Structure 1
Amino acid sequence: MVEGRKRRLPQISSTRLVLGFSLALVLFYNLATWKALDGLVPLQGLYGTAFFASFGLFLWAAFSLLLTLVSFRLTLKPALSVVALCSAAAAYFMNTYGIAIDTVMVQNVFETNPGEATALFSGRLLVYLLLLGVLPAALVWFLPVVYRPFFRGLLEKVLVILGCLLVVAVSAGCFYSTYAPIFREEDKLTHFINPTNYIYAIGKFAKQSMGIRENLVVQPIGQDAVMNLKAQQRNRKSLMILVVGETARADHFSLNGYPRETNPQLKQLDILNFARVHSCGTSTAVSVPCMFSMFPREDYSDRKGKTYEGLLDVLQRAGVQVLWLDNNSDCKGTCLRVPNRDIPKTQPGPFCDGRRCLDEALLQDLQAYIDGLDGHALIVLHADGSHGPEYYERYPKAMERFTPVCRTNQLGSCSREELVNVYDNTILYTDHFLARVIELLQRNQDRLDTSMLYVSDHGESLGENGLFLHAAPYSIAPEAQTHVPMVMWFGTRTLADQGIDRGCLQGQAEAAELSHDNLFHSLLGLFQVRTGVYQPGLDIFHSCRPQMSAGQ
């Protein structure tokens, strides 16, 4: 018995460990890759079987090549342990939510807050981390690995790398006509290949972040910004509340034809509903700074978002009082140079429980702030909206109209009915919250030209084609993640005082194809701010001001 305890595990060479670990990655960590590949290449018969076998060899050789580069005495075991743990987590999120991993997804991970992160924890995640992360890492550390003398080992590594390159070339060459279109549309497959997807994305994100930090000089824009004389001299000042929504998809708004009544309060109010609006991105980290940027979606980048001023800076420079209130993760850099504050989660009242707040907490004490205004003002409310996966936490129990509901972050374990019900309850609460915002503005419309604009940052997938949540690469993102709701409301005198024709604006709401690109210029136009960065063609209100001159 004592001898049995002392018996050591069989020795293994560093090369064999790399080859075996790479095979495990292909077989156990890439279910999402095989699923995506099957959707791209639905091959059958002998040719299909041979192709899928060649793809397995392709991945095995590619992984082996990469890991051979770190297969030295001091680096091999730490590298394999990190890859096992990270790949286990990546496999969990791809298999559970159908997400792809790219630079934007990595940015979301690094910019998330503890509340959002803990919402994703689950027993299933723990199982993934234990079985595919901790156990393989422990085995790697317990295995006695044999390393060859340096120069002999180096020669062996060169031969392994050459062999891997040969396998990759033969695998791809024999089925070139099938491989070529797959990798030409790389977003549809490479973002699922584990671990190269997150290794590449982390490297790219780190490079971008280092470049931004090294040159973090925020370039001013709109330094010539000034409110036109007529707007400055108006006795009635303008007050707009801009509600930046979260994860609301347009096709679940009954205002847009959804058969279930999810907007019972808004439909009773004199609102303008814009049915054809698309987001700048599929995640908060992209969409929020992008919608406040002067750059259109096609020209926007995270670097530009962090190194150029945005809409709030220009409005503040022109004399508009700006306040940002946040009930979400944060403003993603958008509000850094204007007055801003997070809603304290521990504040007393019916809307906070010490961990999170319902969106109505954004309205507490807001009337006192409005009473102190002495000029034109913009208040931005960054709402929690329909943030997943714990949708059931986003609305009060009293508003749980659609039942049964999904009460877990394991969305795939819920029925389609439960998932849609709980999500629709979040939209119903957003409808209630927006009605409360309008009530607040109505109480102030005798003194101020009040208005509200609501637009969501992006949409959400609810299990369609096995995809949940959001943040899919924009080029392949479903309409559910990019088609967002937008609603406007105006006080009784606001449009007339600004010379805006409501009938014209109604036509825009019904027919115009709009996007987040319009927000920057439309708010400059609404506050009648003159500046060289203003583009009237992107201002929703410009064509509806018949008396406005070309110079605004």
Structure 2
Amino acid sequence: MEDTVLAEPSESFRPKIGSVTLSVLTAIYILVVANHTFWTRAFGYLSSAPVAFAAFVIGISTLTIAALTTFSVKYLTKPALIFFLMVAVVSSWFTDQFGVIIDKEMIRNAAVTTQAESAHLITLSFLLHILLAGVLPSLFIIWVRVVHKPFLKKFVWNMAVIVPCLGITIAAGLGFSQTYASVGRLHKDLMLTLNPFVPIGSAARFAFASEDDRYIVRRPLGTDAHQRTASANGKPRVTIIVAGETGRAQNFSLGGYPRETNPEMKARGVIYYKNSTSCGTSTAVSLPCMYSVYPRADYTHRKGLETDNLTDILGHAKVDVEWWDNDTGSYGVANRIPYRFLPDAADPRFCTDGECLDTVLLDKLGDWLSNVKSDSVLVLHQLGSHGPAYYRRYPDDFRRFTPDCRTPEFGACKPEEVVNAYDNTILFTDHVVAKVIDNLKKHQDRISASMLYVSDHGES
């Protein structure tokens, strides 16, 4: 009599599915659920060529199916599919909600962000999105029983899917190559929103680049820098650089914005420079570039690390330089000068939940100025207009533009409420900069003072 193996009761409720079938279904799910921005842009850019758009959809779909089917291997299928699924779902939230392109520099930003900053992005809507679009489908993948063929048959079966899919992708690309080339030249952002492949590729490039960064040898620059003349009146020369955060030029009334967002600086007669541009749209790029010797077109992260920056050269010239930070760090700019990260003090007058209002930068400024004995430069790095929690960047006294969005979830607010909140951040920055000017004026009997405000980048 043959032995009989009975399935556990719970096993009988677990449907069987082939590994290739599961891979194809996961690919289709990712394309439909986690690529809204990608398909929206593709349709917009190819709307004048509907047949080319249809071929594009087919080509991208078959390419994705081929890619996921490659991982249809015993012991690898489920972990790989869940990984691709979760990366796509998480990435799609930031791409769809904020228009973020998850390139290498965005990965760098995420890697160095503070806990307080990242907390504003972990909203109820985000968690619900991850649960419904990511966790539940992943649990389904875990639950089903995947049927695997013997290795040789599996290889043949996988290739029977992968090769035709790649053939269709190539045929679709070649059939409309001129159209795609033209669209690609005009709209380089299209393929940068394809999930999950672009985020995974960006993370890999960041990891390799970070490994290379460990072996960078910094090249001294300007070691012969010196002060050509002493102060004419014998007073120490003091410059304060207010490094702004996410200050959009379009919203500065000094530059013509119809709302009065800079009343205090206007009253102090500041000089406003209209033709300034940033090196990038993220602090990790724009801040170190601002202090480097390179123009925007030549700057790279590696060049920034391997070359002395402005603070180093000032040090070579025997100028005392300090950096006070109320943002997320100096991104390497202040590695070789005295540095203070003000949120660490958690001063309850200014700080809540690991973040501080920019007035914390003013608290010890008077004492510092009173003790200056030689030519000095002080950098005050603002939290400024850092989003998406704009409402956390200013106190109630500066809620001048209302109703203002009181949540980091922009989708819960009207566009005008988001703009009101952002404009309030610029109004508060105006106040902080004006107070820096006032502090310098109070000490002008003993120092020769100047001040420069410049934001690292704007905001979309």
Q: TM-score, length-normalised on structure 2?
A: 0.94
Deviation of residue 323 (structure 1)?
Answer: 0.6
1:205-284 mapped onto 2 (5 Å cutoff): 205-213=206-214, 215-228=215-228, 230-231=229-230, 235-284=234-283
CA distance in structure 1 between the partners assigned to 2:221 and 2:81 by the alignment: 47
The partner residue of 1:16 within 21, 24, 44 is 21
Change in Cα spacing, 1:417 to 1:186, as seen in structure 2 (3 Å) is closer
Deviation by residue 1:12-51 (Cα, 9 ceiling, x = unmatched): 22111111111111111110101111221223xxx61x43
Task: Indicate if the aligned counterparts of 2:47 and 2:53 stay in contact, CA closer than 8 A.
Answer: no
In structure 2, distance between residues paired with 1:22 and 1:352: 45
**Which of 71-80 and 452-461 deviates more?**
71-80
Question: Pairwise mapping of residues 50-89 of structure 1 onto structure 2 (< 5 A)?
Answer: 50-89=51-90
What CA distance in whole angstroms lies between the structure 2 residues aligned with 1:53 and 1:8?
Answer: 39
Task: Name the amino acid aligned to 1:310.
Answer: N
Once residues 347 and 298 of structure 2 are traced to their aligned partners in structure 1, the CA distance between those partners, rounded to angstroms, is: 44
Tell me the CA shift for residue 190 of structure 1: 1.0
Secondary structure of 1:108's match? helix
CA shift at 1:115, angstroms? Answer: 0.9
Task: Verify: 1:36 aligned to 2:37, yes or no.
Answer: no
* Inter-partner Cα distance in structure 2 for 1:93 and 1:211: 28
SS of residue matched to 1:278: coil
String of CA shifts for 1:442-481, please: whole Å, max 9, x gaps: 01111111010000000001xxxxxxxxxxxxxxxxxxxx
Deviation at 1:205, TM superposition (A): 1.2
Partner of 2:314: 315
1:541 aligns with none
Could you tell me how far 1:157 is from its partner in structure 2?
2.7
Residue 180 of structure 1 corresponds to 181
Structure 2 Cα separation of the partners of residues 160 and 220 of structure 1:
56
The amino acid across from 2:179 in the alignment is T
Q: Percent identity?
A: 39
Distance 1:81 1:237 in 2: 62
Give, in whole Å, the separation in 2 of the partners of 1:451 and 1:36: 47
Q: By how many angstroms is 1:65 displaced?
A: 2.1
Cα distance change of structure 1 residues 454 and 399 upon mapping to structure 2, 3 Å threshold = same
**Counterpart AA for 2:207:** A
Separation (CA, whole Å) in 2 of partners of 1:225 and 1:233: 20
Question: Would you say the 8 A contact 2:26–2:85 is kept in 1?
Answer: no
| Structural mapping, 1:116-127, within 5 Å | 116-127=117-128
Mapped partners of 1:94, 1:270: distance in 2: 41
Q: Distance in 2 between matches of 1:356 and 1:144?
A: 47
Other-structure match for 1:157? 158
Question: What is the one-letter code of the residue matched to 2:209?
Answer: Q
Aligned counterparts, 1:278-297, within 5 A? 278-297=277-296
Match of 2:3 in 1: none
Q: What is the deviation of 1:110?
A: 1.1
Contact persistence 1:212–1:307 (CA under 8 A): no
Write the distance in 1 (CA, Å) between the matches of 2:459 and 2:153.
Answer: 54
- C-alpha distance in structure 2 between counterparts of 1:153 and 1:347, whole Å: 59
8 Å CA contact 2:46–2:52 kept in 1: the answer is: no
Which secondary structure does the structure 2 equivalent of 1:221 belong to? Answer: coil
Residues 62-71 or 250-259, more deviating? 62-71
Question: Which amino acid counterpart does residue 56 of structure 1 have in structure 2?
Answer: V
SS at match of 1:265: helix
Contact conserved, 1:346 with 1:355, CA < 8 A, in 2?
no
Task: Give the match for residue 335 of structure 1.
Answer: 334
State the one-letter code of the partner of 2:223: Q
Alignment partners' CA distance in 2, 1:71 and 1:372: 68
1:6 deviates by 4.8
User: Which whole-Å deviations, capped at 9, do the CAs of 1:88-108 have from their partners, x for residues lacking one?
Assistant: 111111111122221111111
Query: SS in structure 1 opposite 2:387?
Result: coil
The letter for the 2-side match of 1:52 is F
Structure 1 portions without partners, runs of 5+: 462-552
Let me know the Cα RMSD of the aligned residues: 1.8
Other-structure match for 2:387: 388
C-alpha distance after superposition, 1:104-147 (max 9, x if no partner): 11111111111110011111111211122111211111111122
State the alpha-carbon separation in 1 of the partners of residues 411 and 433 from structure 2.
30
In structure 2, the partner of 1:420 is 419
1:231 CA drift (Å): 2.7
AA aligned to 2:224 is D
Q: In the alignment, what sits opposite 1:404?
A: 403
Q: Match of 1:226, SS?
A: coil
Structure 2 counterpart of 1:74, which letter? Y
AA matched with 1:18: S
